[in-house]
Structure 1
Amino acid sequence: MRIDWDVPVPMSDGAVLRADVFRPDDDGEYPVLMTLGPYGKGLAFQEGFAGMWQRLATAYPDAVAGSTNAYQVWETPDPEKWVPDGFICIRVDSRGAGRSAGLLDMLSEQEARDYYEAIEWAGVQGWSSGRVGLLGISYYAANQWLVAALRPPHLEAICPWEGFTDFYRDLNRHGGILNRFGQAWQDHQIFTVQHGVGERGRRNPNNGELVAGPPTLSEDELAANRVETIGEGKRRALLDEFSRVRTPDLTRIEVPVLSAANWAHHLHTRGNFDGYATVSSPRKWLEVHGHEHYAEFYTDYGVALQKRFFGHFLKDEATGWEQQPPVRLNVRHVDGSFEGRDEQQWPLTRTRWTRFYLDAASATLSTTEPTAEHTADFPAPGPGADFWTAPLTDPLEITGPASARVRVSSTTTDADLFVTLRVQDPSGNEVSLVSAIDAHGVLAVGWLRASHRELDEQRTLPHQPWHSHTRTLPLTPGQPVDVDVEIWPTSLVIPPGYRLGVTLSGRDFQMPGDGPWPVLYGIEQRGNGVFVHDDPDDLRAGIYDGTTTLHTGPHSRTSLLLPVIPPPA
């Protein structure tokens, strides 16, 4: 393998980005797999994300087998697993990050244009076959959607692996409620490798160069060279132009797409399903898996899937991809196992959309509608109100998107509503599911700030309410309103004897028990990973600390719409 470090990639405005190019050591022409982003192309996975690396190596040994792992970088392909098969791997530091000078402006129009130009640069190099694909996780997936919507001529196929599509709804504000993850992520993963951190940062273990250099700038100089993307998102409570330009027009994407989703990622799950559903490309596939956020991308299962896709579209190889079903699901079971299943569509056409009604009189959840109106009060800052089915008599598979229809009132002019789907075993113990970011994840979650309840009627579906987030509709204290809450897609087969439940609360659900709970970025992970909604600047006293009243009954129709999948005939 030949490695060219810090290759200059000229931009049309005179800026120069820096790329590392890993390619076969001969004079041939090969297709390119590219990533461009702000995580530092020279930051070793083992150093920058040591805990995740240890978990990957220990729990998924196949992910690190067959490679020296010397060139592993967080959320990007391992060149040692691709170059021997006739691919070129290129990692580009985005403008203002790592080795690339300039203004750091995450997910901006400028960054998308830079990515476009980097793709076109790679497409005409002497070692390139002229065919470029994009492959990466998270940020390296999110900006695939953005640049693919610009339609670079040399872009042939994309594989966004667990990557959000909506800056406002997925990253910044769940249902209009500020998500505190963004600030922690930006401060720990982005600003620590901003171009100019220099001597205060790490070195590339392969060439000894500073990961975020060569200059070492003062903190004031660094601050002047970046846009406070998350801070701007926090300041903007409604969806405006700042969010719109960072959200791709998915309908413009026409290249082949393999969208790989995780059932339980409170940043990325929604985006991969929406991306698959919305792109215009007739050649699109959806794959859904579980486990930790970064795991399946590197396992033999994930790499084999990626190679079949890119071998077909970048190299015209007979990989069997022409027989690949449109949808590949790994359906979850309560014991942590997965059942691989091929499907023809999403959501599944055989779905039995089933209403489960909440009854405040008995705290039950049932497919039978209550016969009388009742209410349940709960303090907004408290644990909320729980509703449970009777023990199941037959297996129950829930696979797909879901929603909640809730009639609610408050003693104040607003209220946050968290809808958390849960499962208990026959002994009454909470079932926790390994999610993308949390070892103790719940089945599914939906969020909504009541003042953001206005729907975009053109985009709303029964199983996916679509909120416009362009104006607020304050509550009148004591007066009930109907709200529709989007619950992100999920999957689980619940065995007989278990119970399905839902918690409605005014704050994040917390797994019961004393822990100890893992902590990441100073955030205790108790069912929601690092995606919590407790920023004091977003929860004004006197508004979000009142008493919430839930109304149930035949007029209220407070219920869940769940995707029940019938057993095979």
Structure 2
Amino acid sequence: MSDRSFTTIENQWITLKDRTRLAARIWMPDGAEQNPVPAVFEFLPYRKRDGTSPRDESTYPVFAAAGIAGVRVDIRGSGESDGVIDGEYTERELADACELIAWIAAQPWSNGSVGMMGISWGGFNSLQVAALRPPALKAVISIASTVDRYNDDIHYKNGCHLSAQLSWAATMLGYQSRPPDPALVGERWKEMWLERLAGEPFFMEEWLAHQRRDDFWRHGSISEDFSSVEIPTLVIAGWADGYRNTPLMAVEGLGEKAKALIGPWVHKYPHFAWPKPRADFHGEAIAWWNKWLRGEDNGIDKLPQARAYILDAVRPAPRRDSDPGFWIARDVWTPPHMQCFYVEQFGRLTEGMPIPHAPEHPVYVRSPLDTGTASGEYFTLKPDAEMAIDQRLDDAGSLVFDTMPLADDCDYLGRPVLTLRLRPRAAHANLCGRLVDVHPDGTATRVAFGVVNLSHRDGNADPKPLIPGETVSIRLVLDACGYRFRKGHRIRLSLSTAYWPMILPPPEDEGMDIDIASLGLGLPVLGDHRRITVEAPANPDPLPRYIEHAAAATKRQIVRDLSANRTDYRIHEETGLYEHPKTGLSTRQLREEVWSISPDDPLSMTGVSTWTCDMHRPGWFVRTVARARIACTATDWIVSAVVTAFEDDVQIFEKIFAEKKIARDLM
């Protein structure tokens, strides 16, 4: 890496063909107009001025010092950009991205080669834009993203309704209801703010209108046609995050064009993520850009196709600073060999295949509907109770099968597969399968899990209703994992009919009869590999320090009211109040969320998510409060929301999304 001087352009207006003005923050290597440079583009609704500024300031100055311009743009209706957001990854958003790439490539300081990068939303649209093939886009780095918007995002998972869908709808209401910074847009700030408040949608209504994997979800899912992506793609994720499947799916789908890196991390960039060890994202990204945007022969194209951190007998804990394990490489990724297990006659999980035509051995299971409180968040931002905790809480309400203590260490990498036959006792049912590491002292670590709405047993596009009492065959592919089960530990398979609050309950709760004689579990053997070193970042504390006015706080509680037969899962997340030392802008966000259910009544389920967002400078204060709610009947989801805005503690706006019933589609 060089140490080139650079200039930060705090706000650059980019006017699109339709006259919409988008706001960009640019880190420009000095002398670029004389000696043009490549550029890396990131396109998000998360506000460059305050929302993503810490992580932007940890990365783009490093790129600029290496002679690579960084262009961070707020999408329509966010930050200082004009307009109103119209949804996730819409045709308009992707068209804007393509237009911006062309604008970047045409600038006198650009060498005409653009890379696109991002985590989460920015990782999603990087892949989606790559599939549109804008000519100047030469390479992508996608972190914590998806190739399948239906099955590997925060909406649905194999037909099950994720609670994260409401959480994220409330989050976006809170994020998008904030105004632009008057210091950048001037007197227009309030007019722009009121336009956003009046026009922003409640995303939940649209998402619930598409409960099957239809064209709405196929749009933007590059798994529909992997061949549409023709440029080199580095895909990164963490085992502690909800997007852990994407790197291996991308490699399988894109072939030699893709490289996969999977660490132990939550939903963060790998140079400041937890649990450690971290990875030198900056060094690798700069080499990636120099190869594909400059043509530098630096060997980065010779990376192994898949690199992964194999977790080694991890123990769940209230907070995990680091996870034991080791890095491995597979130079060419091929589908793993599956080690098979079955349940023998005494209920022991045993290596081997289920006995063909064995007599049926049905076991009835009906989990308490609050089974799942040890599941953690779908996507995790901190290495605390957002991650799955000790699974003994959930195993108590599950059907469990253990191996004998292992005679040797067993290493796995890939997606476990569960097969079985069952007879539902109602027309609607969910099934959750979990792979668990049982330590000698009984501590239980979740290694992988999968869920299925049984109406979606043969696919998500055209679900089929269950017939109570009729035997159905299930093949459930669990999420990917990289894990070592230690000698003396036991491998556990846990099966439950509930996994709340991660997935919402079906309208009926009659349980099912599982034929354990038919049960087969395939675990993906690590196979041929080599141990490698993944360099740690040189800077162990890369995020900038802002001025703290109030500390962050987090709390997660499970409250079981035994008299009322009610369980609440409560979340309190406060970012603290922090001031940017250069802009003088102070911001704070507070999330309060409560999920509630009676353990024997699926129709008692409710969820409420509230976001309070504050922004202020001396003499200027604004606050927005966004609240979203979901409940259900046997036939409908019931959703509502309200957004309220305050200026100097005076309410200036309120928008009510009135209670709306949306028919449950085989859920």
CA shift at 1:450, angstroms?
A: 0.7
CA shift at 1:368, angstroms?
A: 5.3
CA shift at 1:116, angstroms?
A: 0.8
Tell me the distance in 2 between the aligned counterparts of 1:328 and 1:568. Answer: 10
Residues 104-160 of structure 1: per-residue CA shift (max 9 Å, x gap):
122111111111111111011111111100122111101111100000100010010
Asked if the contact 1:326–1:343 (Cα under 8 Å) also holds between the matched residues in 2, the reply is yes
Structure 2 counterpart of 1:133, one-letter code: G
In structure 2, the residue matched to 1:552 is: 516
Structure 2 counterpart of 1:237, one-letter code: Q
Structure 1 counterpart of 2:503, one-letter code: H
In structure 1, the residue matched to 2:624 is: none
Matched, 1:496 2:487: yes
In the TM superposition, 1:391-406 aligns within 5 A as: 391-406=405-420
In structure 1, the residue matched to 2:246 is: 271
Tell me the distance in 2 between the aligned counterparts of 1:316 and 1:229. Answer: 42
In structure 1, the residue matched to 2:447 is: 443
Aligned residue-pair number: 477
In structure 1, the residue matched to 2:44 is: 37
Query: Which ranges of structure 1 fall in alignment gaps of 5 or more residues?
Result: 46-70, 432-441, 455-466, 510-522, 524-531
Matched, 1:384 2:398: yes
Structure 2 counterpart of 1:20, one-letter code: R
Tell me the distance in 2 between the aligned counterparts of 1:169 and 1:453. Answer: 13
SS class of match (1:409)? strand
The two structures have a TM-score, normalised by structure 2, of 0.67
Residues 419-454 of structure 1: per-residue CA shift (max 9 Å, x gap):
1110111122223xxxxxxxxxx2001111111111
Matched, 1:533 2:533: no
In the TM superposition, 1:364-375 aligns within 5 A as: 364-367=349-352, 369=354, 372-375=359-362
Matched, 1:124 2:103: no
CA shift at 1:211, angstroms?
A: 12
Structure 2 CA distance for partners of 1:141 and 1:242, relative to 1, 3 Å: same
Matched, 1:80 2:80: no
Q: Which moved more, 1:492-501 or 1:292-301?
A: 292-301
Tell me the distance in 2 between the aligned counterparts of 1:212 and 1:365. Answer: 71
> Residue 323 of structure 1 is aligned with which of 297, 302, 317?
302
Tell me the distance in 2 between the aligned counterparts of 1:360 and 1:210. Answer: 72
Structure 2 counterpart of 1:161, one-letter code: I
Tell me the distance in 1 between the aligned counterparts of 2:339 and 2:188. Answer: 56
Tell me the distance in 2 between the aligned counterparts of 1:140 and 1:297. Answer: 17
Structure 2 CA distance for partners of 1:161 and 1:415, relative to 1, 3 Å: same
Structure 2 counterpart of 1:272, one-letter code: P
Structure having the larger proportion of residues in strand: 2
In structure 1, the residue matched to 2:574 is: none
Q: Give % identity.
A: 22
> Residue 97 of structure 2 is aligned with which of 115, 119, 123?
115
CA shift at 1:77, angstroms?
A: 6.1
Structure 1 counterpart of 2:282, one-letter code: V
Structure 2 CA distance for partners of 1:143 and 1:225, relative to 1, 3 Å: same
Asked if the contact 1:288–1:330 (Cα under 8 Å) also holds between the matched residues in 2, the reply is yes
Asked if the contact 2:15–2:22 (Cα under 8 Å) also holds between the matched residues in 1, the reply is yes
> Residue 143 of structure 2 is aligned with which of 157, 161, 172?
161
SS class of match (2:506)? coil
Asked if the contact 1:331–1:493 (Cα under 8 Å) also holds between the matched residues in 2, the reply is yes
Structure 2 CA distance for partners of 1:360 and 1:270, relative to 1, 3 Å: farther
CA shift at 1:13, angstroms?
A: 2.8
CA shift at 1:16, angstroms?
A: 2.2
CA shift at 1:360, angstroms?
A: 7.3
In the TM superposition, 1:201-280 aligns within 5 A as: 208-209=183-184, 214-215=189-190, 221-222=195-196, 224-248=198-222, 249-266=225-242, 268-279=243-254
Structure 1 counterpart of 2:206, one-letter code: E
Structure 2 counterpart of 1:252, one-letter code: S
Structure 2 counterpart of 1:159, one-letter code: I
Structure 1 counterpart of 2:286, one-letter code: K
In structure 2, the residue matched to 1:564 is: 525
Tell me the distance in 1 between the aligned counterparts of 2:107 and 2:328. Answer: 41
Structure 1 counterpart of 2:408, one-letter code: D
Structure 2 counterpart of 1:357, one-letter code: Y
Structure 1 counterpart of 2:402, one-letter code: W
Bigger radius of gyration: 2
Runs of 4+ in 1 over 4 A off after TM superposition: 207-213, 216-219, 297-300, 566-569
Matched, 1:192 2:174: yes
Matched, 1:452 2:416: no
In structure 1, the residue matched to 2:129 is: 147
Tell me the distance in 2 between the aligned counterparts of 1:567 and 1:5. Answer: 49
In structure 2, the residue matched to 1:12 is: 17
Residues 248-296 of structure 1: per-residue CA shift (max 9 Å, x gap):
3432000111111323422x1223322222237x432111211222151
Asked if the contact 2:308–2:482 (Cα under 8 Å) also holds between the matched residues in 1, the reply is no
Residues 74-122 of structure 1: per-residue CA shift (max 9 Å, x gap):
7x86222111110101111111221112231221111111111111110
SS class of match (1:185)? helix
Tell me the distance in 2 between the aligned counterparts of 1:166 and 1:116. Answer: 21
In structure 1, the residue matched to 2:595 is: none
In structure 2, the residue matched to 1:52 is: none
CA shift at 1:212, angstroms?
A: 13
Structure 2 CA distance for partners of 1:317 and 1:217, relative to 1, 3 Å: closer
Matched, 1:303 2:290: no
Query: Which ranges of structure 2 fall in alignment gaps of 5 or more residues?
Result: 1-5, 273-277, 315-322, 372-396, 531-667
Tell me the distance in 2 between the aligned counterparts of 1:77 and 1:182. Answer: 30
Structure 2 CA distance for partners of 1:163 and 1:339, relative to 1, 3 Å: same
Asked if the contact 1:360–1:551 (Cα under 8 Å) also holds between the matched residues in 2, the reply is no
